[in-house]
Amino acid sequence: MKNLTLRQFRYFEALARHGHFGRAAEASAISQPALSVQIREMEETLGVALFERGPRGVTLTGVGREVAGRVRDILRHVDELGDLARLSRGALSGRVRLGIIPTVAPYLLPRLTEALAAAYPGLELDLRETITPRLVEALEQGTLDAAIVALPVSEPSLAEAPLLSEAFVLVRPAAEADRPMPDPAALARMKLLLLEEGHCFRDQALEVCALRPNARRHGLEAASLSTLVQMVGAGLGVTLIPEMAVAVEARSAPVAIGRFPDPPPARSIGLVWRRTSPLGPQLAELARTLRDGLG
């Protein structure tokens, strides 16, 4: 049997992840016909179909799903060989693949990159912004080294290191600036605007208002904090945002910021990584560097 190659494994993993030849080819920096040839050769070598081809994309066959899990394990272990080499050189350097959630990225990245550039001049950041479930999946598959998320993640396979804690604030239309701050019961009765499902900040906002995660809302959801604030400015309701977003978002719409009495509702932001990663000690040190730089 002809030997399979790591290159084929990476192309296979990209196609399994994207479910589309064009997007997988773009992500792999290869032409779509060349990607198709590599996948076809892999299927011929194994003697089974790994994908079901359809007009809108591809899906893994039953065997393909089994192969995908094993391929991801192989690629993760191969990548960890590089991590071991980096570990032997001491200070963290080279490419580090870092994920970050959307309710943190726009507000924290300038300070984060400044702190890391000062502490690790040889570091190259490869950043990915997406919601927590996708970041956790990428960490487990080995396509990310670490991620900045809201804690706790509560995944046994991941180590967690807190970086900072920040309060939530209430965003109301500017005309309501003089109204007293509502208590949780009053807030639960208000027209609370939320991020769409999948954002951890959505669940945190529901918790502040003592609402069930599956509680039926008003049919108004947004993909970003910026859009939520604009919706409030248009008089569609109220929302919660983290303190770090106030300086950026409050100036973009006619809104008023209300702060809760002590102790205010808050969230913890931290760095997470695989417990099995050879870079674990260096990522723990990176977390300490970020905590000092962001504090």
Q: Can you read off the two tokens belonging to residue 119?
A: 């502490």
User: 75-164+268-294: what fold?
Assistant: D-Maltodextrin-Binding Protein; domain 2 (3.40.190)
Per-residue model confidence as pLDDT tens digits over 222-243:
888 999 999 999 999 999 899 9
Question: How much is the average pLDDT of 162-177?
Answer: 92
Phi, psi of 136 (to 5 degrees): -60, -40
Q: How confident is the model at residue 265 (pLDDT cuts 50, 70, 90)?
A: confident
Query: Span 86-91, mean pLDDT?
Result: 58
pLDDT band at 210; cut points 50, 70, 90? low
Residue-level pLDDT at 87: 57
- Is residue 190 exposed (0-12), middle (13-18) or buried (19+ Cβ within 10 Å)? middle
- How much is the pLDDT for 215? 53
pLDDT band at 273 (very low <50, low <70, confident <90, very high): very high
What number is the average pLDDT over the span 170-194?
87
Which superfamily, per CATH, for 166-266?
Periplasmic binding protein-like II (3.40.190.10)
Integer Rg of the chain from CA: 22
User: Given this model, what pLDDT does residue 42 score?
Assistant: 93
User: CA-to-CA distance for 278 and 87, rounded, in angstroms?
Assistant: 7
Would you say residue 157 has pLDDT above 80? yes
Give the residue-averaged pLDDT of 255-263. 91
Mean pLDDT calculated for residue range 257-267:
90
pLDDT mean over 138-163: 91
Q: What are the tokens at 111? A: 């300070």
Q: For the domain made up of 6-74, give the CATH fold.
A: Arc Repressor Mutant, subunit A (1.10.10)
pLDDT (mean) for 20-44: 91
* Sign of torsion over alpha carbons 58, 127, 220, 152: positive
Name 15's Cβ contacts closer than 8 Å, sequence gap at least 6: 21, 24, 35, 39, 51, 58
Q: What is the 3-state secondary structure (H, E, C) of 278-295?
A: CCHHHHHHHHHHHHHHHC
Is-same-fold flag (75-164+268-294; 166-266)? Answer: yes
Contacts of 6 (CB under 8 A, 6+ apart): 74, 75, 78
Q: Which residues pair with 100 in a beta bridge?
A: 129, 148
The dihedral over CA atoms of 64, 56, 132, 142, expressed in degrees to the nearest 10, equals 40
Binned at pLDDT 50, 70 and 90, residue 8 comes out as very high
Domain-by-domain residue ranges, the chain?
6-74, 75-164+268-294, 166-266
